[in-house]
Structure 1
């Protein structure tokens, strides 16, 4: 123990102690200054206002302030694409330089949704379903049908849309509804030989619509093509108001004689059966009546020659009565 006390009193120990203390102080000062430099103590930047700006202007403002950014996107209907709607941290918050600012913008490309089933639904039900799928109702048209305000067809971009098809959010859907007046019948116009634009005009005037349009493989110029086949054809006579007529376009229309046999064959079966059957039935009925009358007249003539036989008189009388 005395040796330890003697060592503590030596100049060597005092020098080592002083050196260790100086080393600790220097290390503390180095760490303190280093952390202050690394953390940029007493240095801050106020976050500029980014919310409400377009993304291009927002990026320029952040770069001028020496800040970084990270972008996330969402979709909102009726909102300007590229608009900054959220920022974190908020405006005026003091941050260090090169701090990352998180931005939320409106995407320019709308995500797609699956088209719901709205056919045979009422207009109120269809409106609610479309709204829940972030879709809008476009134009509404009415056709003759016994059901009123019932969705008969849904169209997107002028074409009928099937259930489950993927379409962008916010798309407008046109609805075809029933007017509740029933399906009145109109005469089918003859479209054979007409170009497509004239056929559309004729169908519109008759209260009908254009259905499926098919083209002959030989058609190279649709402006010069004419209708060669229509379904249903004029031989059907009448069809429901608002019905659609399917057509086929070819280079040339068929000759007019090809359409006449259908009309000439219709009245023939109506005339021959009604006039041939009654004359054959009438002459059969009166012949048995005349034969029975002649048989009743002959027995009295024979009875004058054979008067004594009473049994023969009874048999003749029975024969005259039809037994």
Structure 2
């Protein structure tokens, strides 16, 4: 033990210790300076503002600043194609030379989507569905139909478009809607052979009403009597909604129904 203590007091030990310490310091300094040069520790540049520029101008600005870039694209309806809408890192952020700046731009070409189901939907529902699919409503046309504000047809470029057809985002879709009033005219039905109750039900079903009811002589049970003539008749073709149809009923039904005005041959007359 005494020999070790004596050696530690010698000049040889002190010299070796100083050499070892100097060697460690030299290695540490070399590594520190090397990393500083490699990582360009004291060198940084400010990220330029490229958000809001066209992609070509943004690329030029980044290249002039010795920065790399990577581009992703999205579609936005009514936005200018090629416009930079996002950048990462943000403007004025300090980065090292060669750093990659991530850009999001508006795509130059709109993608296509499958046309959604909007037929038989209300106008409010159809508007929401089209908006969610980045489609726009063009012209709205109302036609006679009992269903008010219900989509009866959807058209693109003047042609009906079916569900599932591929269509470019941002396209305008024209809608054909019902006005809630139905048709103004209907076809006159053939009521021959019906009882008065059956005829009244048939007329109400298409928006017509029962007019004057006349029973032929000899009719004892009006509930079983059958229509033998009606006015207006089938030869008239169509009549306005709400019009009245006059009937003549009898217990004997002719093989060929006539359509003369029942008031000209009436025997007994009743009003419904």
Task: Show structure 1 runs of 5+ residues with no match.
Answer: 187-237, 240-272, 275-323
Asked if the contact 1:66/1:98 (under 8 Å) is kept, the reply is: yes
Aligned to 2:202: none
Aligned to 2:156: 156
TM superposition shift of 1:181: 4.5
Aligned to 1:41: 41
Asked if the contact 1:118/1:129 (under 8 Å) is kept, the reply is: yes
Over the residues paired in the alignment, what is the CA RMSD in angstroms?
2.5
Asked if the contact 1:143/1:177 (under 8 Å) is kept, the reply is: yes
Structure of higher CA gyration radius: 1
What do the CA deviations read for 1:61-86 (whole angstroms, capped 9, x no partner)? 00000111122222111101110111
Matched, 1:128 2:128: yes
TM superposition shift of 1:185: 7.4
Aligned to 2:4: 4
Task: Show structure 2 runs of 5+ residues with no match.
Answer: 188-236, 239-254, 257-272
Aligned to 1:167: 167
For residues 90-109 of structure 1, what are the structure 2 equivalents within 5 Å? 90-109=90-109
What do the CA deviations read for 1:154-197 (whole angstroms, capped 9, x no partner)? 112332211223323222111122343406479xxxxxxxxxxx
Asked if the contact 1:145/1:183 (under 8 Å) is kept, the reply is: no
What do the CA deviations read for 1:187-245 (whole angstroms, capped 9, x no partner)? xxxxxxxxxxxxxxxxxxxxxxxxxxxxxxxxxxxxxxxxxxxxxxxxxxx89xxxxxx
Q: Could you say which structure has the higher strand fraction? A: 2
Deviating more after overlay: 13-22 vs 57-66: 13-22
| Higher relative contact order (CA closer than 8 Å, sequence separation 6+) | 2
Aligned to 2:206: none
- Distance, in Å, in 2 between the alignment partners of 1:22 and 1:120 is 88
TM-score (norm 1): 0.53
Deviating more after overlay: 176-185 vs 163-172: 176-185
- Distance, in Å, in 2 between the alignment partners of 1:146 and 1:10 is 115
TM-score (norm 2): 0.63
- Distance, in Å, in 2 between the alignment partners of 1:183 and 1:97 is 76
- Distance, in Å, in 1 between the alignment partners of 2:7 and 2:184 is 121
Aligned to 1:50: 50
Matched, 1:142 2:142: yes
- Distance, in Å, in 2 between the alignment partners of 1:8 and 1:124 is 95
TM superposition shift of 1:37: 1.0
